[in-house]
A and B are shown apart, each in its own frame.
Chain A
Amino acid sequence: MDLISVRAVRVPRSRGELTFAPGAVPLAGGTWLYSERQDDVTELVDLTGLGWEPWTADPDGGLTVSATCTLAELVRIPARPEWPALSLIPLCVNSLLASFKIWNTATIGGNIALALPAGGLTSLATALDAVAELWTVDSERRIPVADLVLGVRRTAIEHGEVLRALHFPAAALAGRAAFRRIALSPLGRAGTVVIGRRDADDAVTLSLTGGTERPEVLRFAGIPTVAQLAAAIDGIDTWYDDAHGSPDWREAMSRRFAEEIRRELS
């Protein structure tokens, strides 16, 4: 929809122009920004003019994905034998309510910075221990995505910072992944997304998104027992309540999926 309070759109061509006045917000794909009233937004700073390479394979075997990489570009990253966990990408992108047409514009960074429980790219990034790179005009810092997303529509990104890229470590990409998802309708907005990963050292990482207010990551040195897994889930107290599921159902589905994944990865 038209964003009626916006007075200016800037398209920076260099990092030095990444400045944000009060009321200015970064614009990536725009598929969310333009989908709701944004009464407090007066300026859009369009990151897509910076010409960031959508993704690059890192020398250390990891994968760096620019925040402005569209979902369509993301799902086209070619498979590699050393990155079996890339199989999660289409699963997580399809987990979004958005149609494939939205993928042509929506970006991975936009989805994560939006910090919605049902953010499928947050699911992907937390499941694979991705680290976010944040830029200001003259500084940068890194923070795991699991710590970046603080709650519903709340992140650790400060005004003036932009999400530059997501770094997926080689070890996680090499892991064996298992994915479970449910919604209140066959292709509806996610009720819960549970992703498990077993690394070469047998460490198991379980990420819960969609059903919780923020990403919840459970880590185990090896395959947990039924009781260990259940006890770890007992510690989660952020079960989310909205039109896409009640907390009790979300918790029950998450528990069931976590146990299924435990068995699958065993």
Chain B
Amino acid sequence: MRFSVNGQPTEAEPAPGQCLRTLLREQEHFDVKKGCDSGDCGACGVFVDGTPVHSCVYPAHRMEGREVTTVAGLGTPERLSPVQQRFVDAAGFQCGFCTAGMIVTASSAEVQAADDADLPRLFKGNLCRCTGYRSIDDALHGVTTTHARGGGGIGASVRAPAAERVVTGTEPFTLDFTTTGLTHLAVLGSPHASARIRSLDATEALALPGVHAVLTAADSPDVLFSTGRHENRLEDPDDTRVFDSVLRFLGQRVAAVVADTVRIAEEACRLIRVEYEVLPAVFDPEEARAPGAPLLHGDKDPFEHRIAAPERNVVAQKHGELGDVAAGLAEADVVVSGMWRTGRVAHAQLETHASRGWLDAAGRLVVRTSSQVPYLVRDELARIFSLDRGALRVFTARVGGGFGGKQELLTEDLVTLAVLRTGRPVQYEFTREDEFTIATLRHPKRVSVTLGARRDGTLTAMAVDVLSDTGAYGNHGPGVMFHGTHESVSVYRVPNRRVDAEAVYTNNPPSGAFRGYGLGQVLFAVESAMDDLARELGMDPFELRRRNVVVPGDPVVVTDADEESDLQLSGYGLDQCLDLAEAAVAEGGESAPDGWLAGTGMALSMIATMPPRGHFSEVRLTLERDGSVSLDVGTAEFGNGTSTVHVQLVAEVLGTAPEQVRLRQSDTDAAAYDTGAFGSAGTVVAGKAVHAAALALREAIRAAAKELGSTPRGDANTPLGMSITRRGVDHTLDALVDEQASLPLAAVAAAAPSPLAAVATASGTPRSLAFNVHAFRVAVDPATGEVRILRSVQAADAGTVLNPQQLRGQVEGGTAQALGSALYEEVRTDGEGRVTTRAYRNYHIPQFADVPRTEVLFASTHDELGPLGAKSMSEAPYNPVAPALANAIRDAIGVRPRELPMTRERIWRLVSRRAEGDG
């Protein structure tokens, strides 16, 4: 079959039933992405004979004689199309995985001719999980919000280093490269939520031509581990095997096939004969911890495997009291109490989990993976497979979104096993359905809160009871439980407090790390209860917070007054955030339609700027012979924007253009170490190390210049180079380091006896605290339950704002993701462990049409602990949104929403029942 792609004649024979997307990728058109493979997300969008289509649902056998144009055919990094340029100018992407399809749609005749009001409809088939769509909307309108290339240090909206490549589809993601002889792995999943494998016969599967191996429990190393990854591996229970003969959730790996194609591997999976012994199962976390419940990990040891109480399915628990809650409640004038629930949520990042492994020329195992934590993956793979760390290289290309979902080891262990077994390159790519069924999900929680306060609003007691469903495995179960009850409680200065929290195993799909790491669920309850308290007291909710929040000088503890903590209220900005949000929500915004109920609500959140107990980064900065700078840093880029910040930090200190800094990142063969891109650590840990390395390199350059007989001007605090004289004019690092003579850095580098380089580290302690306050004004249609957001504001305490546009994007993106979990998103099960929402079409993540503009305001603070005074701001913006929205809805309808998501049907029921009660 002959057709053309971007003007190039192409000849290819599609397989029967093949779609255009995979045909194009086979021809190395890697700019055509797989987001969903079901026609819902638009990441695979291309033009066929000038007509925009979703190539994943376009039959490939129809391509004869047709012309395909992909995003790479619209422009090149050197010569961007006008639409591509607009996406660069407006920073209209974060991870960039949806961007190719987004730009195809934006370039279509329909969009080019559309008026503003029609954009939400035209973009309903293009999903973005990162941005919240504001920056995309700006791109569609030609708004420039970034600094032009060639300059811009700290405080400037410097463009992402990869911007021009992202918008042309030329920036490679995890699977965007060719490997000769690549084989593919497919997994046979358990049809039962609880079962034991009695027997397994792979004879027929192995006989299928093209099959290289069938891997089963017999091949699994006898090592227990956790898919959840942390700096300290002891934080997660060892309860998981590569293959287990006991199956604890529906879809859990039973066997895997390695074959020449995905098609053959899938077919072979169906030929594996398995006899299962179905075991009792439990799906309700309350039942799971009751006596007599089937035990998921009853065979494990509390100490060796770090499971709090395997005999009652409890993976982690915390029961602690500070002061005397009963006494605190007794002295209260007002007591409020209630129970809240949050749903199971999917990360829904556009790039599914995937990894590809091979043996390099020296026989060393290399794994390229879609991970937030390549170093931790390397370390655990080495442990599971008894390999020397040095015998393993793990790295990531640009990662297509994570949100915590890629702080797991979900594909890499199987790929490692398969490569070691077959000696062949092996790829394992999750489907979108896999993302909903066998990847991790946000912990659903049931949270009870009781608050007592005196008439003047002073809190006297707080009791929080949390039940967290960790699913079949305990990855992140303890961490999410402990973190969830930390900053949500310690943000208030209440003398008597009690926390009871348990994370419980069930036969549901495993939960895992999710943006906010447990805080959002508990804050939904605590901040809702605070709102109830303000109502009971007749007090303004902002004022009630002001009276009770921690301020500098207060201890930041949960229930242990002597809790050893490295948390500091450094560069405190909560007071400003409360003031900013309160003032902003009061002004502007739409008015409520006739017959709708209007309301206002707010909530706050506090979060540590880094994960606890150490987060390490070691970076290396090298002055190259050509005068450019190479930065080796371990942090992965997945839309968090830390690459931009790292480059900005170097450019600022050395006084060069950001474009002169070349990144080698997230590769265990490049930077020495990085714990990983989670806990919002990319700026405050890795960035801090980068800043220190830049300062050290500047000193080394000064010293070298002196050696060369040059007298550097200024002092140690003066940036080198063009920031002194030529910023924004010259794009090279041919910088003046000498007052009298022009001494280019390239000359310094060339003359130095050994390469000029600096290594610096950061250890993630002490930690600071960041704050966010969100406020909404909403209107609710009592007839349908529809919630319309009339005004949305978030004030953020991010310390020094290193890149305003990126920071705004993080807040907007976090808000949009939180609106999804507040209003729409729920991974539903049938009550027996089977997920029933297995595609985007049945799991509604916010579309262009769903996300209102949020006004983003920044407190003016400086955090002594962060690089140049900055705090982290990736997870934080997500947390206050759901309770603020719930409080606004409560204000509007007069009934307290207690369950997320607050769907139209649930709100309608609340309003209807109240009306019945009134009647």
Closest A-chain residue to B104, C-beta based?
A: A101
Q: Which residues of B contact A94 (CB under 8 A)?
A: 121
Interchain residue pairs with CB less than 8 A apart (5)? A44-B17, A105-B57, A182-B904, A184-B904, A248-B905
Q: Which residues of A contact B16 (CB under 8 A)?
A: 3, 6-9, 43-44
Q: CB of A97 within 8 A of chain B?
A: yes
Cross-interface CB contact of A2 among B22, B841, B843, cutoff 8 Å: B22
Interface residues of B in 888-919 (CB under 8 A from A): 903-905, 908-909, 912
Indicate with 1 or 0, residue by residue over B48-65, a CB within 8 angstroms of chain A CB atoms: 000111101111011000
Known: A104-B52, A246-B905. A30 touches B263 (CB 8 A): no
| Contact call A30/B57, Cβ cutoff below 8 A | yes
| Contact call B836/A99, Cβ cutoff below 8 A | no
Q: CB of A232 within 8 A of chain B?
A: no
Known: A36-B38, A182-B784, A187-B120. A101 touches B54 (CB 8 A): yes
Q: How far is B433's CA from A36's CA once the two chains are assembled, in angstroms?
A: 9
Q: CB of A139 within 8 A of chain B?
A: no
Cross-interface CB contact of A48 among B62, B120, B826, cutoff 8 Å: B62
Q: Which residues of A contact B844 (CB under 8 A)?
A: 184-185, 188-189, 243
| Contact call B263/A99, Cβ cutoff below 8 A | no
Cross-interface CB contact of A4 among B42, B45, B124, B267, cutoff 8 Å: B267
Q: How far is B16's CA from A4's CA once the two chains are assembled, in angstroms?
A: 8
Q: CB of A31 within 8 A of chain B?
A: yes
| Contact call A185/B836, Cβ cutoff below 8 A | no
Interface residues of A (CB under 8 A from B): 1-9, 11, 27, 30-32, 34-37, 39, 41, 43-44, 46, 48, 94, 97-102, 104-105, 182, 184-189, 191, 242-246, 248-249, 252-253, 256
Q: Which residues of A contact B17 (CB under 8 A)?
A: 2-6, 9, 41, 44
Q: Which residues of B contact A97 (CB under 8 A)?
A: 40, 124, 841
Tell me how far the C-beta of A2 lies from the nearest C-beta in chain B, rounded to whole angstroms. Answer: 5
Q: Which residues of B contact A3 (CB under 8 A)?
A: 16-19
Q: CB of B110 within 8 A of chain A?
A: yes
Indicate with 1 or 0, residue by residue over B800-831, a CB within 8 angstroms of chain A CB atoms: 00000000000000000000000110101000
Q: CB of B512 within 8 A of chain A?
A: no
Q: Which residues of B contact A9 (CB under 8 A)?
A: 16-17, 59, 61
Q: CB of B223 within 8 A of chain A?
A: no
Q: Which residues of B contact A4 (CB under 8 A)?
A: 17, 262-263, 266-267
Closest A-chain residue to B786, C-beta based?
A: A182
| Contact call B39/A102, Cβ cutoff below 8 A | yes
Q: How far is B59's CA from A31's CA once the two chains are assembled, in angstroms?
A: 8
Interface residues of B in 21-76 (CB under 8 A from A): 21-22, 37-40, 42, 45, 51-54, 56-59, 61-62
| Contact call A34/B905, Cβ cutoff below 8 A | no
Q: Which residues of B contact A31 (CB under 8 A)?
A: 39, 54, 57
| Contact call A256/B783, Cβ cutoff below 8 A | yes
Q: CB of B850 within 8 A of chain A?
A: yes
| Contact call A252/B125, Cβ cutoff below 8 A | no
Q: Which residues of A contact B19 (CB under 8 A)?
A: 1-3, 34
Q: How far is B110's CA from A32's CA once the two chains are assembled, in angstroms?
A: 23
Tell me how far the C-beta of A95 lies from the nearest C-beta in chain B, rounded to whole angstroms. Answer: 11
| Contact call B38/A35, Cβ cutoff below 8 A | yes
| Contact call A35/B22, Cβ cutoff below 8 A | no
Cross-interface CB contact of A184 among B58, B61, B836, B903, cutoff 8 Å: B903
Q: How far is B908's CA from A5's CA once the two chains are assembled, in angstroms?
A: 44
The number of chain B residues touching the other chain, given as a range, is 35 or more
Q: Which residues of A contact B62 (CB under 8 A)?
A: 46, 48
Closest B-chain residue to A94, C-beta based?
A: B121
Q: Which residues of B contact A32 (CB under 8 A)?
A: 57
Tell me how far the C-beta of A261 lies from the nearest C-beta in chain B, rounded to whole angstroms. Answer: 15
Q: How far is B663's CA from A243's CA once the two chains are assembled, in angstroms?
A: 44
| Contact call A34/B785, Cβ cutoff below 8 A | no
Q: How far is B783's CA from A262's CA once the two chains are assembled, in angstroms?
A: 17
Q: CB of B723 within 8 A of chain A?
A: no
Q: CB of B837 within 8 A of chain A?
A: yes
Closest A-chain residue to B21, C-beta based?
A: A1
| Contact call B58/A30, Cβ cutoff below 8 A | yes
Q: Which residues of A contact B537 (CB under 8 A)?
A: none
| Contact call A102/B908, Cβ cutoff below 8 A | no
Which of A41, A46, A184 is the most central at the interface, judged by chain B CB atoms within 10 Å of its CB?
A184
| Contact call A243/B843, Cβ cutoff below 8 A | yes
Known: A30-B59, A98-B39. A2 touches B15 (CB 8 A): yes
Known pairs A31-B54, A185-B850. 8 more at Cβ < 8 A? A1-B22, A9-B59, A9-B61, A34-B19, A39-B270, A100-B125, A182-B786, A185-B847
Q: Which residues of A contact B842 (CB under 8 A)?
A: 189, 242-244
Q: Which residues of B contact A188 (CB under 8 A)?
A: 824, 844
| Contact call B824/A184, Cβ cutoff below 8 A | yes
| Contact call B38/A1, Cβ cutoff below 8 A | yes
Q: Which residues of A contact B120 (CB under 8 A)?
A: 186-187
Q: How far is B49's CA from A104's CA once the two chains are assembled, in angstroms?
A: 11
Q: How far is B903's CA from A228's CA once the two chains are assembled, in angstroms?
A: 31
Q: Which residues of A contact B912 (CB under 8 A)?
A: 252
Tell me how far the C-beta of B669 lies from the nearest C-beta in chain A, rounded to whole angstroms. Answer: 34
Q: Which residues of A contact B53 (CB under 8 A)?
A: 101-102, 104-105
| Contact call B105/A189, Cβ cutoff below 8 A | no
Tell me how far the C-beta of A130 lies from the nearest C-beta in chain B, rounded to whole angstroms. Answer: 25
| Contact call B59/A99, Cβ cutoff below 8 A | no
Q: How far is B42's CA from A31's CA once the two chains are assembled, in angstroms?
A: 13
Q: CB of B794 within 8 A of chain A?
A: no
Q: How far is B635's CA from A164's CA once the two chains are assembled, in angstroms?
A: 57
Indicate with 1 or 0, residue by residue over B491-513, a CB within 8 angstroms of chain A CB atoms: 00000000000000000000000
| Contact call B847/A101, Cβ cutoff below 8 A | no
| Contact call B124/A99, Cβ cutoff below 8 A | yes
Q: Which residues of A contact B262 (CB under 8 A)?
A: 2, 4
Tell me how far the C-beta of A103 lies from the nearest C-beta in chain B, rounded to whole angstroms. Answer: 10
Closest A-chain residue to B837, C-beta based?
A: A243
Cross-interface CB contact of B849 among A185, A244, A252, cutoff 8 Å: A185
Interface residues of B in 421-473 (CB under 8 A from A): 431, 433
Cross-interface CB contact of A186 among B826, B849, B909, cutoff 8 Å: B849
Q: How far is B843's CA from A8's CA once the two chains are assembled, in angstroms?
A: 33
What are the 5 closest A-B residue pairs judged by CB atoms, nearest first?
A99-B125, A6-B17, A3-B17, A249-B905, A1-B37
Interface residues of B in 821-880 (CB under 8 A from A): 823-824, 826, 828, 836-837, 839, 841-844, 847, 849-850
Which of A30, A98, A252 is the most central at the interface, judged by chain B CB atoms within 10 Å of its CB?
A30
Q: How far is B912's CA from A27's CA once the two chains are assembled, in angstroms?
A: 45
Q: How far is B457's CA from A23's CA once the two chains are assembled, in angstroms?
A: 70
Q: CB of B704 within 8 A of chain A?
A: no
Q: How far is B905's CA from A264's CA once the two chains are assembled, in angstroms?
A: 25
Q: Which residues of B contact A249 (CB under 8 A)?
A: 785, 904-905, 908-909
Q: Which residues of B contact A248 (CB under 8 A)?
A: 905, 909
Cross-interface CB contact of B125 among A36, A48, A98, cutoff 8 Å: A98
Q: CB of B322 within 8 A of chain A?
A: no
Q: CB of B194 within 8 A of chain A?
A: no
Q: How far is B108's CA from A184's CA once the two chains are assembled, in angstroms?
A: 28
Closest A-chain residue to B41, C-beta based?
A: A99
Q: Which residues of B contact A2 (CB under 8 A)?
A: 15, 17-19, 22, 262-263
Q: CB of B122 within 8 A of chain A?
A: yes
Q: CB of B126 within 8 A of chain A?
A: yes
Indicate with 1 or 0, residue by residue over B1-17, a CB within 8 angstroms of chain A CB atoms: 00000000000000111
Closest B-chain residue to A253, C-beta based?
A: B784
| Contact call B126/A99, Cβ cutoff below 8 A | yes
Q: How far is B300's CA from A129's CA once the two chains are assembled, in angstroms?
A: 64
Q: Which residues of A contact B123 (CB under 8 A)?
A: 99
Closest B-chain residue to A6, C-beta based?
A: B17
| Contact call A46/B61, Cβ cutoff below 8 A | yes
Q: How far is B269's CA from A5's CA once the two chains are assembled, in angstroms?
A: 12
Tell me how far the C-beta of A29 lies from the nearest C-beta in chain B, rounded to whole angstroms. Answer: 8
Tell me how far the C-beta of A192 lies from the nearest C-beta in chain B, rounded to whole angstroms. Answer: 11
| Contact call B121/A187, Cβ cutoff below 8 A | yes
Q: Which residues of B contact A104 (CB under 8 A)?
A: 51-53
| Contact call A27/B59, Cβ cutoff below 8 A | yes
| Contact call A243/B905, Cβ cutoff below 8 A | no
Q: Which residues of B contact A1 (CB under 8 A)?
A: 19, 21-22, 37-38, 56-57, 431
